[in-house]
Amino acid sequence: MPLRGRTVVVSGVGPGLGHRVAAAVIRDGGRAVLGARTGGRLAATAAAVDPSGDRTAWRPTDITDEAQCAALAALAVERFGGIDAVVHVAALDRHFGGLDDADFAVWARVVDVNLLGTLRMTRACLPALRVRGGSVVLIGTQSAVAAPTRVRQTAYAASKGALTSAMYALARELGPDRIRVNTVLPGWMWGPPVEAYVRGTARAEGVPESEVRARLTERMALPEPATDGDVAEAVVFLASDRARSITGQSLLVNAGELMR
C-alpha cells in the first residue's frame, strides 16, 4: 500500500488514463481528489473506483480557470486535510496538423490547457504540498521528444515539450520544499483514444483493425503497446515514497518503441 493515507489530486479524469490513475490510487491505499470539466464523468469514476465514497472527492474543474484550480485544491484540504501528490492528466490532444496548416489561435488554446493549465493547477496545490512535501507527476508524450510518423500533432507535441522543459525548472525550484517533479512520457497508449483511432483508420482504409494495430507496434521492442493501466502504474510509483529520491526525470512508458 505505497499510497496509504496519502491524498492525490488527479486532473483530467475521463474514461482512459485519468480513470486508471484514480483506480490505482485507491487500490494502493490513497485518497483521490478528482477534477475534470464534466461532473457526470467524475461521479461515474468516483463510484466505480470507490463505491463507499470514503476515499474520493470530486469537483468539476477547468484548469484554464485559476479559481477552479484553487477550488479543487481547497476541496482536497477540506475533505482529507492536505495534499501529498498531484497528477496532471488533463490535456487538449484533439488538434491534428503541422506548421503549414497551423491555426495559431487553436495552438494558443492547446498551450493554455497543456502547459499553463498544468502550471495553474500545480500552483494552486503548492501551499498544501509545502506542508509535508510531496510529488507532482506530469503526463507528457513521446511525441515531444521524437516526432511520430503515423500522425501529426505539432501543437500538442510542442506544448508537452514545453511542459517537460518546465519540469526541470520546477524540480529545482520546489526541491527545497521536498516537492518532487517528474514526467511520464507515454507512447501509443492502448485505451479509449487509441482504440478509437484504430477503429476509425481501419474503417477509412477498408482494412482490418489488426493491420492498423500492427503498424503501431512494428517498431516496439515488446509485441504490444503499453496500456492506460501500464502508464498509471508508472504514475503511482512516481507519486509514492518509493520514488522519494527521483526528481526532474522523464520516464518513457512505450513498450520500447523509443529508447533513450
Q: How many CB atoms lie within 10 A of CB 215?
A: 14
Please state the separation of Cα 3 from the chain's center in Å: 18
Q: How many CB atoms lie within 10 A of CB 75?
A: 18
What is the full DSSP assignment across 57-107? Answer: EEEE--TT-HHHHHHHHHHHHHHHS--SEEEE--------B-STT--HHHH
Residue 168: active-site member: no
Which three cell numbers mark 219? 517498431
Structural element, H or E, at residue 56: strand 56-60
- Which of 107, 156, 188, 190 is catalytic? The answer is 156
Give the HSE-up count for residue 56: Cα atoms under 13 Å, Cβ half-sphere. Answer: 26
Give the HSE-up count for residue 156: Cα atoms under 13 Å, Cβ half-sphere. Answer: 19
Please state the separation of Cα 155 from the chain's center in Å: 17
Q: Which residues contact 44 (CB under 8 A, 6 or more apart)?
A: none
Number of H helices, E strands in the chain: 9, 9
Amino acid at residue number 204: A
d(CA 88, CA 76): 15
Looking up cell 482490418 gives 208
Residues with catalytic roles = 156
